[in-house]
Structure 1
């Protein structure tokens, strides 16, 4: 992509999972003229390994792509198997195509994490699905600010698992909020909210990986304005409407299933993964078997 704007130094923060890869595939083509560094969290919470539904979701969102599919694709690329041309790139493919550094980070606000950000000296930071919380010593570094893309309409859907809560509530759409980061969690002033229409025949996982797209569109529109010297307009949150959510336990998942909603659907998931395959490459058997036979048990494939 040819750009005519003065380049910026942009720090992109996301998660090492399927949704994070899709976020970068959307975002990075628009930043090709800028200097970009990507920091990725690998954060998981203990409850993700104790609640069966959360363990299943983690497997499909992170473990299968990162541990099985992406390494297979990266080895195939290195050995010349396939002719390239996949619509979507793995993290290694993104790093190579755009000539950027993609690094993992666990301690964002400690001396080492702060030093890494200050050494990069970003003009702007954008966080989407990062899972790590910025503190003033890191969110105040960029001169143009630090922004977060939250997969829920703020202030109502603050906290975790907002798309699940929207589906469970019977909402017609899932909001995705672009807001400036401040000292609270999901409390900063709002730039805008975009919406993904809910398709009830589709799974939670499909909604999760697609919810970020309206927020990314808002960020790119804001970025275009910043490049031209226009500061974004903010709306303060009405905290009387705020309902902060944590990761759900067995009862909400039972209610979700009772409504005929799906957490996961194998064919739909394989269709998402197929975007990372070159046109002449079949889905690796190890991936297809893990999806259809290995983990797709009843807890995640209730009928719609």
Structure 2
């Protein structure tokens, strides 16, 4: 059967941040004909405010784009040529997809919303909330997670950072089925992003997910033809679970000559969201905001 004749009902769960917007910009154009709903997490962990480097990354990934740049873009007149990439509001309009923030996906309201939507499959990619069985069992083909680390070695948080710190050659991006654990479910496959040491952590973070999203699209192609994915259980003896890094880890990262972010790389990403006729003004605003909060200083010590 031709895959175009087999539309699916898909829930995409991602994060309300820069990488989450990039994930949706990669996925939504490839899901034409499917019925899609997008759920966004917007969770901040206390340590992200306590560790300066984590606070800087939060500013670059969330505060500046979500609180300043995206609202400005959304208020612009849309008479000119559209930007290459769309904000969350822009994506909802461009693709006719409902996008909403959710605080508790496992509670009665979240569960009822998902049951009403009746998804065939659900994807988590950078989503900050943990799925419980009452929710991840709802889709008839299951719930899958795109994890930005090679499992089981890089389970947990900040996997690209840990891989770069340990001198890896490439960052793995694992597509696995969600089960009752955290990053423990059976694996569909692992895609790889070669590490470029001259590039920043943030560059690697926003580019790691692509390989996992490609694996998910392959799973969808198989499901449209009546074929489920081959799943391989993880070797739990090789599992290493990581939490958010502290000051010592960031000091070690810098001692290797690695950087948290690069201003030019960062602006190159933001520029793709900016309509051409307003790009100069928006870039000036973004640059001034970054300098005002001191985020640009992290380049000097990162």
**With structure 1 as the length reference, what TM-score do the two structures score?**
0.95
> In the alignment, which residue of structure 2 is the partner of 1:68?
68
CA contact (8 A) 2:115 2:138 kept: yes
| Residue 7 (structure 1) shift | 1.2
CA contact (8 A) 1:41 1:131 kept: yes
CA deviations 1:223-251 (Å, max 9, x no partner) are 11111111100111001111000000100
CA contact (8 A) 1:260 1:302 kept: no
Matched residue SS, 2:278: coil
| Residue 221 (structure 1) shift | 0.9
Correspondence 1:1-304 to 2 at 5 A: 4-76=4-76, 79-80=77-78, 83-283=80-280, 284=282, 285-292=284-291, 294-302=293-301
Report the Cα distance in structure 2 between the residues aligned to 1:159 and 1:282, rounded to whole angstroms. 37
- Tell me how large the CA RMSD over aligned residues is: 1.4
CA contact (8 A) 1:179 1:189 kept: yes
Report the Cα distance in structure 2 between the residues aligned to 1:294 and 1:50, rounded to whole angstroms. 16
The alpha-carbon distance between structure 1 residues 291 and 266, as it changes in their structure 2 partners (threshold 3 A), is: farther
Segments ≥4 residues shifted beyond 6 Å: none
The alpha-carbon distance between structure 1 residues 18 and 192, as it changes in their structure 2 partners (threshold 3 A), is: same
Matched residue SS, 2:279: coil
The alpha-carbon distance between structure 1 residues 297 and 282, as it changes in their structure 2 partners (threshold 3 A), is: closer
CA contact (8 A) 2:83 2:273 kept: yes
| Residue 90 (structure 1) shift | 0.4
Report the Cα distance in structure 1 between the residues aligned to 2:83 and 2:213, rounded to whole angstroms. 21
CA deviations 1:165-208 (Å, max 9, x no partner) are 01100001100000000000000000000000111111101100
CA contact (8 A) 2:70 2:87 kept: yes
CA contact (8 A) 1:261 1:302 kept: no
| Residue 297 (structure 1) shift | 4.3
Report the Cα distance in structure 1 between the residues aligned to 2:279 and 2:106, rounded to whole angstroms. 42
Matched residue SS, 1:192: strand
CA deviations 1:25-81 (Å, max 9, x no partner) are 0000111211100000001100000000000000000010100110010001xx34x
| Residue 293 (structure 1) shift | 5.0
Report the Cα distance in structure 1 between the residues aligned to 2:4 and 2:108, rounded to whole angstroms. 36
| Residue 292 (structure 1) shift | 4.3
Q: How many residues align?
A: 299
Instruction: Answer with 150-159 or 223-232: which moved more.
Output: 223-232
- In structure 2, runs of 5+ residues without a counterpart are none
